[in-house]
Amino acid sequence: MSDTPAPSGDSQDPEELQFHYTSSDAPRPEQETENAHAKDTTRVPDVIEALRKAFGASVLEVERYANEDTVYVEKERIREICRFLKNELDFEYFADLGGIDNFKDEDRYEVFYNIVSMERQKRIRLKVRVDEEDMRVPSVTKIYRAANWNEREAYDMFGFEFVDHPDPRRMYMPEDFEYHPLRKEFPQLGVPGSLPLPPQTPDGELTMDPFAAARGSEPVKSYEEPPVEQDDD
Amino acid sequence: MAEKPQFPGHDLGDQFRFWPKHNEAIYERLESKHTWVEEQQRAAGGDGELPLTEAEDDPLENEMILNMGPQHPATHGVLRCVLKIDGETVEKAVLDIGYLHRGIEKLAEHKTYQEFMPYTDRMDYLSPYSNNVAWCLAVEKLADIEVPDRAQWIRMIMSELARISSHCLWLGTGAMDAGAMSVFLWTFQEREEIYAIMDEVAGARFTVSHSRIGGVASDLSPRSIEMIRDFVASFPEKVDGWEYLLNRNRIWMERLKDVGRITKEEAIDRGLTGPSLRGSGVPYDIRRFEPYLKYDEVDFTIPVREEGDSLARYYLRLEEMRQSIRIIEQCLDRMTEGPIRADDAKEAYPSKEEVYYSMEGMIHDFMYTDVGTVPPKGAHSYHAIESPKGELGFYLTSDGTGRPWRVRINAPSFSNLQGLEYLLEGDLVSDAVINISSMDPVMGESDK
């Protein structure tokens, strides 16, 4: 995560060597209209209006970037809001669900819901904030059955506990695995020993760390090396 | 009740065994799952109780749990289906995926946007070009990069070729699953020609990585345009030939008809996407729903069938290939001359001439490799394309550095496999392979 690489050399003034690639802090306002890839389908002011009318303060805030509306809603009411969207506003197709780890103290995680209305030709994104202390999120599988696997995946990857989920198993990782890999603190090369793999040789040991070489220790070889003969003369 | 089977590996002592808790969870799920097959049996019984199954009636026990895959030639990769079957009928199905899980969402967080491109090739490995385009468009939307016209036409041509190539493979392997060998050879002949075009255009036959953020890597050479024109001219005849061969084949028609039928409402509810959804009468195609590239400027139709069975999906994919040819023809005619990449060092790579002959070009190339595109902090956007399998979308979140903070991949095969679990139930076990192939899953994509 280094947008401005640390300047090298001790005597140099750090100000002098700054790269020109500095990130701007906020989306520029004119981007909303100028983005060449922006679509009409993602602007839903009337839907947001209807949601505000029906749920009042439970609709926390609305964000817009690249012509896409994101509606932050209260976690506890997500199920009612989804039911309202499906039954009253024709958002019948559930496209996607997933988690985001923002790695901060308060409201660390987010869950987003990407729901489509074919009749209106609109797409809406709902987001709920989830605190680290309370990982429970009401499951929406009763309303959108397509959310089943997506919620399992979000549980697998982030550890959300989807309340009333009919099938709370992991999606990708085996049940014997203890970690949630898409959390930011999970190392990219995995945790050694968390998933024993088959031995590399017929009567070898289990492979505890497939990336041993990357960590600087001796990797397990998949073949027997011939003994090196020493010349004594 | 069927006995819980002993897993191979349980008696191996300290040696490796396949993660035992995982298997137990699958069998528990198989027990606790309630399917419509069961409900129907309850309703038929009248008293709300499950009627005696054949297994309880019959001294020869007919009920068993069948484990298909993950290593099985008909599951199109490493899909594992655990089926509870009563005689020939599948009562309950539990799919287990993740055998090809490489964690590319995690890997993407450690790469620059351009560096991630080769990974997208390996998602839906039957049509790599579509994935490249999907990724580029998502990043371009996030970072607000405008793509020159010519690059957009090239991307369209190549993604439609990728669609044809993917559907060719689906048809060949699908026919092979139904027991017909020769179709596979016919369709792979055509796939081979598309490989040759990809080779000429991108320099690689299979994992092309030809699209670039802000444009494409290289312009189409006169030779490649000639090859595409030849292909477009000859291909419709080939499709007609396959149709002539298959539509009059009673085995093929009867294997597919009424197998894996799903209604319109169920298809939407189960979140099917792509040809599987359109085969049930839902005209949902991202090329129409939210047109990207130049799809709103070309003339083509979205084929839709109402029947919702495997046969409908077969007709539909054949028709989609013809429509792709129509799109490519129009693209070739309307393609304009011009630059193929955005002319901004912060948005796209400079051309090779610039890199070799100017100092600035070399610095820009280095900087773009090192840092790359930098979308604004806190920006997040979703962009989807209609890949051969359905809606392929990337939801990106930026933290204002050259690497994405979070990449979410909405993979069409993942959604379709979820629906497949429902399709398998109530069908014959011998139709399971037909169901799987008519859904056309690619495990590289669904397992991420």
Q: Are A142 and A112 members of one domain?
A: yes
pLDDT surpasses 80 at A162: yes
> Which 8-state DSSP code applies to residue B75?
G
* Residues on chain B touching A92 (C-beta within 8 angstroms): 268-269
Same domain membership, residue A65 and residue A40? yes
Residue A5 lies in a domain: no
Contacting residues of A for B448, CB less than 8 Å apart: 172
Does any domain span residue B448? no
Q: How many domains does chain A have?
A: 2
For tokens 């806190």, the residue is B378
Query: Nearest chain A Cα to B31, which residue?
Result: A167
Contacts (Cβ under 8 Å, ≥6 apart) of A79? A138, A139, A140, A142, A143
Looking at the fold, whether A204 and A110 belong to one and the same domain comes out as: no
A138 and A211 in a single domain? The answer is no
DSSP β-bridge partners for residue A163: A138
Q: Is A14 exposed, middle or buried (0-12, 13-18, 19+ CB in 10 A)?
A: exposed
B25 CB near a chain A CB, below 8 Å?
yes
Query: Directed axis angle between helix B310-334 and helix B222-247, to 10°?
Result: 160
Domain that holds residue A210: 187-217
Residue B268 confidence (pLDDT): 92
Average pLDDT over residues A103-119: 90
The pLDDT value given to residue A30:
43
Is B105 close to A157, i.e. CB distance below 8 A? yes
pLDDT band at A6 (very low <50, low <70, confident <90, very high): very low
Confirm whether A226 is domain-assigned.
no
Q: Is B436 domain-assigned? A: no
Residues A46 and A149 in one domain: yes
Domain annotation covers residue A209? yes
Q: What's the pLDDT tens digit per position in A52-83?
A: 998 888 888 898 888 889 999 999 999 999 99
Per the domain annotation, does B441 fall within a domain? Answer: no
B348 located within any domain = yes
Q: What is the pTM of this model?
A: 0.86
- List CB contacts (< 8 A) between A70 and chain B: 380
Using CB atoms, which residue from B103, B397, B448 is nearest to A100? B397
Q: Which residues pair with A136 in a beta bridge?
A: A161
Give the CATH number of the domain where residue B346 resides: 1.10.645.10
Q: Please give the mean pLDDT across all residues of chain A.
A: 80
* B415 and chain A in contact, CB less than 8 A: yes
Classify residue A51: in a domain, yes or no. yes
Nearest CA in chain A to B98: A172
The verdict on residue B4 lying in a domain is no
Distance CA B92, CA B87 (A): 13
Do the domain assignments include residue A7? Answer: no
Among A82, A76, A53, A48, which residue's Cα sits nearest to residue A64?
Answer: A48
Angle at A139 between CA B409 and CA A151, to 5 degrees: 25
Beta bridge partners of A63: A70
Nearest-CA distance A54 → chain B (Å):
24
Distance CA B392, CA B240 (A): 29
| Residue B252: count of CB within 10 angstroms of its CB | 20
Helix axes A147-158, B412-424, angle to 10 degrees: 120
Instruction: Kindly state whether residue A160 falls inside one of the protein's structural domains.
Output: yes
pLDDT tens digits for B84-120? 888 888 888 999 998 899 989 999 999 999 999 999 9
Residues A46 and A112 both lie in one domain = yes
Supply the pLDDT for residue B36. Answer: 76
* Confidence tier at A13 by pLDDT (50, 70, 90): low
Q: Is B110 on the interface with A (CB under 8 A)?
A: yes
Q: Are residues A101 and A162 in the same domain?
A: yes
Task: Tell me, yes or no, whether A70 and A168 share the same domain.
Answer: yes
Domain residues for the domain of B275 are 113-410
Q: Would A45 be classed as within a structural domain? A: yes
Q: Give the pLDDT mean for A101-125.
A: 90
Residue B49 is predicted with a pLDDT of 58
Q: How confident is the model at residue A228 (pLDDT cuts 50, 70, 90)?
A: confident
Q: Which residue has the higher pLDDT, B272 or A105?
A: B272
Q: Are residues A47 and A161 in the same domain?
A: yes
pLDDT, tens digit, 9 for 90 and up, residues A115-161: 999 888 899 999 999 999 899 999 999 999 999 999 999 999 999 99
Indicate whether B191 belongs to any domain.
Answer: yes
What integer pLDDT is reported at residue A7 of this predicted model? 44
A33 or B150, greater pLDDT: B150
User: Could you tell me if A54 and A156 lie in one domain?
Assistant: yes
B287 lies in some domain: yes
| Number of domains making up chain B | 1
Chain B stretch 350-409, residues whose beta carbon is closer than 8 A to a beta carbon of chain A? 367, 370-371, 374, 376-384, 391, 393, 395, 397, 399-403, 405-406, 408
Residue A100 to chain B, least CA–CA distance (Å): 7
Residue A71 sits in the same domain as residue A163: yes
- Interface predicted TM-score of the whole assembly (ipTM), two decimals: 0.85
Banded model confidence at residue A227, pLDDT cuts 50, 70, 90 = confident
Task: Pick from A149, A151, A153, A157 the residue to mutate for testing the B interface (most B CBs within 10 Å).
Answer: A149
Grouped pLDDT means (10 residues each) for chain B, 448 residues:
45 58 84 78 63 57 80 81 86 89 91 91 91 93 90 93 93 88 90 93 90 90 93 93 90 88 90 91 90 88 90 92 92 90 86 89 90 88 92 92 91 92 88 89 89
What is the pLDDT, as a whole number, of residue B50? 58
For residue A232, is it within any domain? no
Beta bridge partners of B397: B380, B406
If asked whether residues A144 and A193 sit together in one domain, one would say no
Contacting residues of A for B98, CB less than 8 Å apart: 170-174
